[in-house]
Structure 1
Amino acid sequence: MEDRSLSREPSPGFSAAACAGSNIAFVKYWGVRKEPPGAGMPLNPSISMTLREAVTTTRVTFRPDSLPERDTLVLNERPGPPEALARVTRVLDEVRRRASLRAPARVMSSNNFPTSTGVASSASGFAALALAAAAAAGLPCAPQDLVDLALMGSGSACRSLYGGYVLWDASFGQEPEANPVRQIAAEDDWPLVDLVAVVSREAKKVPSSQGHLLAWTSPFLEARLSQARTAARIVEKAILDRDFETLCQAMEAEALSMHAVMMTSKPALLYWLPETVAVMQKVRSLREQGGVPCAFTIDAGPNVHVIALPEAAPEVRREIEALPGVEEVLFCTTGGGPRLLEADGPCD
């Protein structure tokens, strides 16, 4: 006979909605642990800035009387692909286990930014999902309570649980009781602008999940990890000191070292296009010859994030938009952490 004290069913329509911003990493991780403890966790710390204008809004509704008796996902007003639904269900299963719930969920999620533009929707998406699902199930919703849930969907999502500037410590998995994510500075402490130069909208042929494992085949991985750990300390201090010049040097060198690992893995990963290099060269020219405070960083793809001081952003944007092959320049600023919504309105 079933012990009903171990499970409870929410009333129909038991739901919550949340929104969360994406983030851009100033110090990135590339390569993950292959064996326990901490299998799948990054080999080095990472530091990111949460973005205000690139937001995912997600509603989670547990429906015990719904048919079919499985989770459903609507993503940008279309049925979510099977691989995305599988990741969402992994998060929801953990929520159900913690809350002793027995009910499928309907998840409706939308981004206010275009896809395949170099802005990571998985970070904002799973941060919003973790908060909305926890709230709908009546679980604690403080950022530190949501880290494990967000990580089940996307590594970078745990950084989007906080606003401003965020450090993810790579020691996670070795000491599970320790919170691996912390805020370095709030969004108002040092406003910066992220100008995303979109040079391609094509999906990556090799997803990051595969690339992380290929990192082990690069002869430069160990040197890169040492450099990234040092860069994390330098970048954290630069953020606290509002030292843009130091941030520029460390951020660009760190991104280039990560791509060196990609280019020397087996098989080699070359995400750059000629337009990628053109944007990088323009940014360096603006800074070194024109004294314009701006610097680049590049994720696993061809699009370039140009970080600038707010007063320089209009000039930088004009210069980047004028380059041949740049399809669009997205404008993002430093944003806050995720929040619950009282209604289905947008996350302003």
Structure 2
Amino acid sequence: MTETDFLPDPYTNLPTEGKVTWKAPSNIALVKYWGKKTNQIPANPSVSFTLDACATTTTIFFTRKKDTSQFSFDLFLEGKSKEDFKPKIQVFFERIERYIPFLKSYHFKIETSNSFPHSSGIASSASGMAALALCLVDMEKVMNPEMGKDFFNRKASFLARLGSGSACRSIEGDLIQWGEHKPIADSSNLYGIKYPFKVNPVFKNFHDTILLVHKGQKQVSSSVGHNLMHNHPYAERRFGQAHENMENLKTIFSEGNLEGFIKVVESEALTLHAMMMTSMPYFILMKPDTLQIINKIWDYRKDTKIPICFTLDAGANVHVLYPESAKEKAIQFIQDELVAHCENGHYICDRIGNGARKLLENTQ
């Protein structure tokens, strides 16, 4: 599909008012997206686990208005007005208006909340932009009842990407691929798709325990970090590595090869941070406790042969990944050895989920 496929026909039945609510999960990349081109186009393909517990719930109340010259919206996070978030929504609306041309016809009251603390250091942009995009496409579906489920999901993913790149991977579950990769015929830079190849059942019940090492604002925003890849001396090799790891995972997923999975996932996490440490300007986002957790995981895995591993986002927090079969021992290890390295002992238990879901019906 191309961008023009998401341009709607003229609307003939704009509702006067209503509301819609969607809950969208966060996701954790296994092959990392780092580096982007114009219009949120990724520089390399990625694949992610869709999470379940870490999610954003967004309700849009919409009311038709006479003045259609500009966008009109109020934004509330956890019940409190968030004026500092409004510029990001304004930019998002400007990017997507071509594909959702009724935006200026309504005043929106946007109420959003996260299942995890906003200060937890978990990126809420993926789940937040996914939930908002889903609400808007759901509004469009009222005006175009013929819209099919597959097109609905792809348009929501397409729009979410224009708000936050990784948000396009938060529409569906459980393994989502994004970014053009020639061996995946249906892959696209414009939206995420369900991973199309065979996946062994061992990867269908994976857990992700998120250790909150540092709960403050990140030293460098993801947008700034992505832009640092433009003139990075190792960028092209990194992009090639991502394609190679996509190919490696095809066999790993099919065979249920946990040892191979661990090697790819941990290497990808460390490569992401290596790229930040070798950019100009350069950043070290890991904290001493991050490194201690990593070393303890390595030692524990070596001693016990239990397939527990880690991945990282662009921050200090550690995602501890393990299959259902290792759950009991992994949780005990986390509580005994790793929680001590978390800020105020805080961590979040999550697992692979099935994607976003609608919570309330539209009302007109």
TM-score range normalised by the length of the shorter chain: 0.7 to 0.9
Match of 2:219 in 1: 205
Q: Cα distance 1:187–1:77, how it changes in 2: closer, same or farther (>3 A)?
A: farther
Of residues 156-165 and 186-195 in structure 1, the stretch that sits farther from structure 2 once superposed is 186-195
> Does structure 2 retain, via aligned residues, the 8 Å contact 1:50–1:335?
yes
How far apart, CA to CA, are the structure 1 residues paired with 2:322 and 2:172? Answer: 21
The alpha carbon displacement at 1:307 in A equals: 0.6
1:321 matches 2:323: no
Name the SS of the counterpart of 1:268 in structure 2.
Answer: coil
Deviations 1:114-144 (A, max 9, x none): 1243432111111111111111232545212
CA distance in 2, matches of 1:289, 1:122: 38
Q: Among 291, 297, 308, which residue is 1:294 paired with?
A: 308
Q: Match of 2:37, SS?
A: coil
Q: Which amino acid aligns with 2:108?
A: A
Aligned to 2:46: 46
Are the counterparts in 2 of residues 195 and 332 from structure 1 also a CA contact under 8 Å? yes
Cα distance in 1 for residues equivalent to 2:164 and 2:119: 17
In structure 2, the gaps of 5 or more residues are 1-8
User: Are the aligned partners of 2:213 and 2:342 in contact in 1 as well (CA < 8 Å)?
Assistant: no
Instruction: Find out whether 1:338 has 2:345 as its counterpart.
Output: no
**Aligned with 1:16 (options 20, 41, 60):** 20
Q: Higher mean Cα deviation, 240-249 or 151-160?
A: 240-249
Counterpart of 2:228 in 1: which secondary structure?
Answer: helix
User: SS of 1:297's equivalent?
Assistant: strand
Correspondence for 1:104: 107
- Runs of 5+ unmatched residues, structure 1: none
Deviation per residue, 1:275-296 (Å, 9 max, x gap)? 1111111111111122121111
Deviations 1:139-187, CA, capped at 9 Å, x for gaps: 5452122222111111111111111011102469xx9988642212789
Residue in 2 aligned with 1:64?
Answer: 64
Q: 1:324 to 1:178 in 2, by over 3 A?
A: closer
Contact 2:199-2:256 at 8 Å conserved across structures: no
Per-residue CA shift, 1:241-291, capped at 9, x if unaligned? 322211100011111112111101000021111011111111111111221
The residue type paired with residue 154 of structure 2 is Q
Cα separation, partners in 2 of 1:271 and 1:339, compared to 1, 3 Å: same
Which sits farther off after the overlay, 205-214 or 136-145?
A: 136-145
AA partner of residue 28 (structure 1) = K
Percent of aligned pairs with the same amino acid: 30
Structure with the higher helix share, 1 or 2: 2
Find the residue that maps to 2:348 and give its secondary structure.
strand
Q: Which residue of 1 aligns with 2:173?
A: 163
> Is the 8 Å Cα contact of residues 66 and 104 (structure 1) preserved in structure 2?
no
Q: Does residue 84 of the first structure (1) align with residue 88 of the second (2)? A: yes
Please report the TM-score for the alignment, with normalisation by the length of structure 2: 0.82
Equivalent residue in structure 1 for 2:128, among 125, 144, 148: 125
SS at match of 1:71: strand
Q: Following the alignment from structure 2 to structure 1, what is the Cα–Cα distance between the partners of residues 343 and 34?
A: 27
After alignment, is 44-53 or 120-129 more displaced? 120-129
Please state if 1:244 is matched with 2:258: yes
Residue 152 in 1 paired to residue 162 in 2? yes
Matched, 1:183 2:194: yes
Give 1:32's aligned residue.
Answer: 36
CA contact (8 A) 1:7 1:102 kept: no
Verify the 8 A CA contact 1:320 1:329 in the aligned structure 2: no
What is the RMSD computed on CA atoms of the aligned residues?
3.0
Task: Name 2:77's counterpart in structure 1.
Answer: 75
1 CA distance for matches of 2:302 and 2:188?
45
Aligned partners of 1:15, 1:213: CA distance in 2, in Å?
A: 37
Equivalenced residues, count: 333
